Amino acid sequence: MIEAANHLPYNPQETNYTKISQEEIQREVDYWRAYKILQRMLKAGLISEEEFNKIDKLNRKTFTPMYAQLMA
């Protein structure tokens, strides 16, 4: 099956890439910074797992990161 995929024609002009805006990139960076801080707070015992999940859920709404949806 992998061999068949290697023989598919490739035309870069037919590819539908979506450009990412500077604002989207900034929201993504801001979300991941907040996420890392939350992880450190959880590890240090400053917040509970429940608090971590609640804050992360709020951060996902606030920052609307594109790739956080891929995370559980």
pLDDT single digits (tens) 41-60: 999 999 999 999 999 999 99
Of the candidates 45, 40, 39, 47, the residue with the CA atom closest to the CA atom of residue 71: 39
For the chain, the helix, strand and coil percentages under 3-state DSSP, each to the nearest 5: 70, 0, 30
* pLDDT given for residue 11 in this prediction: 66
* pLDDT given for residue 68 in this prediction: 64
Dihedral sign from CA coordinates of 50, 54, 57, 62:
negative
Q: 69 vs 7, 15, 28, 43, 48, CA distance in Å?
A: 32, 23, 11, 23, 22
* pLDDT given for residue 20 in this prediction: 80
Tell me, yes or no, if the pTM score tops 0.75.
Answer: no
